[in-house]
Amino acid sequence: MTTSPFNRRDFLTSIAGTALVYAIDAPAQTGPRPNITVRIDRDLAVLDPAHRTGPWEGNVMRVVYQRLMRQKANSAELELDAAAEIRQVSPTVIEFRLKPGQMFTDGFGEMTADDVKFSFERIGLPPKDGAKESSYKNDWLHLQGVEVKNKYEGRIVLTHARANLYDVVIADGSGCIVSRKAVEQRGADFATRPVGSGPYQLVSLERQKGATLRRNATYAGRKPYYEEIAIRFVSDARTTDLALRSGELDFAILAPSAAEPLRSVAGLTVNEQPSIAYVWLGMNVDKAPLSDLRVRQAIRLALDVDQMLVAGYNGKAPRLNTLLPPQILGHWREAPVYKRNVAEARSLLAAAGASNLKLKLLILNQAAYQNMALVARALLADVGVTVEVDAQEGGTFWNSGKGDTGKNIDLFITRFNGKHDPNFIMQWFVAGQIGNWNWQRWNSPEFDALYTQSAGELDPARRRQMVIDAQRLMDNSAAFVWLTNEANVLVYRSWIRPAGVPGWIDWQYDEFGAAT
């Protein structure tokens, strides 16, 4: 018989010892702490405002850099940031004066009007010296240039008036002020080693892991509450759930269905916030039989939006009846709320001479869309429309409407992110976007005219009316079945007070605080 030097008692002792070590070293879940960890679901790659790839990077940039103006905490309303004063002196000229003593990190000196000029023009004007063109060039549409008057003063000169310049440009990612000297010195490295003057400084950025922000000691404005914010890239919702329970994550935004189980977890707060993203079922008006208005109206009447939302979002997402959600200027409060009416849908189809219709419904292969598509298929079957659901992964889906490929689409469900500006949201539906993002291929010269006029209209009341009229045209086309502006569910430690611009696409890390 052989004997082992490692017996059962040794084994159990080792296990117990290991358990004790880890039990003692378990992550602290109590708070408040001076540092928090938040979850993002997309990886951070580029922190240069000119070449950012999405809102998750914008959220970091808006605290690393300053802007002339910024959103107030938990509001879309603007206040001064780097500017001591900003004045619209004419529809096409904006003058600004910087606060003195705003220092860039890493010894890159004080912010000047020349840095503002450099920051805006490198995005909005054609690139010089072979530099890469910014993906966000259109943000600065109509920019003629920035004139520097002296160290702190300058003028932004436009070729045409812009109603949304403050909300979606000056106070957003494309309004971030970088150090000219740092960009020129660091070159391509600037994207991962940014130099700003904002409330936080980037101390680490690692692909697939995330970033760490530390309070910027030289920041001239109000000191943020948290000394350090670790931003962790966790793509999987289930892992996020577990990390919130274990105390490794302190804040995350989840889909309603993913957040539901966390409501019962002690020490966590689950808070629903309406989003400004918009989800709809679109129809290709260029392709028969959807080219017939009556067929589109029939489909709209055959669908039951509320039922689709129960399937897609557990009923936790608010219904949308028009393009613009209630938080946005120009929301059409009186928009018709369509109820399912099978008899009328059938009679419209009969009048159009459409029988035994077979249509393809293109969706992204995500649970919410798949569930809504299955409900739509069942509802449309009741009026004699057979639907084949075509679920595609992101890369293929987002290219489906491009060029001539887009001509083959029948129905689709899609989602776009919004901003606090009606024109930003309306821009994808103009005729110029056919073959690009206007997958309905809807061509309305009246809509296009209202879009152009409202974009340059500085009077809010008149602009609101134009935007409502534009939404009425969309409704008349019956090419859109508005579904929801979604809900973001914020899950966080109860001792945290999170902050974000309503709609929660834009987070305000510097305004995160302690719950009172």
Partner 1 sequence: MMRYLASRLVTTVLIVIGAMLLLFTLSAVVPGDPATTLLGPQATPELSRRFIVEMGLDQPVHIRLWRFFVNVLTGNLGVDVISGRPVGSLIREVIPYTLILTFSAVGLAVLIGVPLGVFAATHRGSVLDNVLAFVSVAFIAVPSFVIAIFLLLIFAIWLDWLPVLGASRTGALGDEVKRMILPTLALALGWIGFIARLVRTSMLEVLGEPYIRTSRAYGLSERLVTYKYALKNACIPTITILGMGIGRLLGGAILVEIVFARPGLGRLIYHAISERNYPVVQGAVLVVVALFVVVNLLVDLSYSAIDPRIRHDTSNSGAAG
Would the CA dihedral through 447, 451, 457, 462 be positive or negative?
A: positive
Residue 292 bridge partners (DSSP): none
Q: Least distance (Å) from partner 1 to the CB of residue 204? A: 8
- Tokens 């879009």 locate to 451
Residue numbers at the binding site for partner 1 (CB under 8 A)? 2, 18-19, 22-23, 25-27, 37, 43, 45-46, 51, 53-54, 132-133, 135-138, 188, 191-192, 206-210, 212, 230, 232-236, 238-239, 242-243, 245-246, 248-249, 393-396, 398-399, 402, 405, 416-417, 428, 436-437
* Nearest-approach distance from CB 146 to partner 1, in angstroms: 23
Q: Which is nearer to partner 1, 242 or 514 (CB)?
A: 242
Minimum distance between the CB of residue 329 and partner 1, rounded to whole angstroms?
A: 20
In the complex, least distance from residue 245 CB atom to partner 1, rounded to whole angstroms: 6
Closest by alpha carbon to 456, among 466, 446, 447?
466
Give whichever of 112 and 134 is closer to partner 1, judged by the CB atom.
134
**Pairing between β-strand 513-514 and β-strand 496-497 as defined by DSSP bridges:** antiparallel
Minimum CB separation from partner 1 for residue 143, in Å?
16
Beta strands 153-158 and 93-98 are antiparallel
3-class secondary structure per residue, 179-207: CHHHHHHHHHHHHCCCCCCCCEEEEEEEC
Considering the complex, state which of residue 181 and residue 245 has its C-beta at the smaller distance from partner 1: 245
Of 503, 501, 446, the C-alpha closest to 477 is: 446
C-beta of 423: minimal distance to partner 1 in Å?
13
Residue (245 or 497) nearer to partner 1, CB? 245
What are the φ and ψ backbone dihedral angles of 75, each rounded to 5 degrees?
A: -150, 160
Nearest approach, Cβ of 46 to partner 1 (angstroms)? Answer: 5
**Which CB, 83 or 470, lies closer to partner 1?**
470
First to last CA, the chain: 69
Identify which of residues 242 and 337 has a Cβ nearer to partner 1 in the complex: 242
Q: Which is nearer to partner 1, 233 or 495 (CB)?
A: 233
Under 8 Å between Cβ of 450 and 470: yes
Shortest distance, CB of residue 85 to partner 1, whole angstroms? 31
Residue 219: CB minimum distance to partner 1, A = 23
Q: How far is the CB of 83 from partner 1 (least distance, A)?
A: 26
CB atoms < 10 A from the CB of 5, how many? Answer: 5
* Shorter beta-carbon distance to partner 1: residue 245 or 360: 245
Residue closer to partner 1 by CB (options 56, 507) is 56
**Cβ proximity of 451 and 427 under 8 Å:** yes
- Cβ closest to partner 1, residue 379 vs residue 430: 430
Q: Is the dihedral of CA 281, 287, 288, 291 positive or negative?
A: positive
Dihedral pair phi/psi, residue 214, rounded to 5°: -125, 145
Q: How far is the CB of 133 from partner 1 (least distance, A)?
A: 7
Half-sphere exposure of 99 (CA within 13 A, CB side): 16
What's the token pair of residue 489?
């569910």
* Cβ(96)–Cβ(86) below 8 Å: yes
456/463 Cα distance (integer angstroms) = 9
The residue among 152 and 482 lying less far from partner 1, judged by its C-beta, is: 482
For 36, residues 6+ apart whose C-beta sits below 8 A from its C-beta are: 226, 228, 229, 230, 250, 251, 493, 496, 512
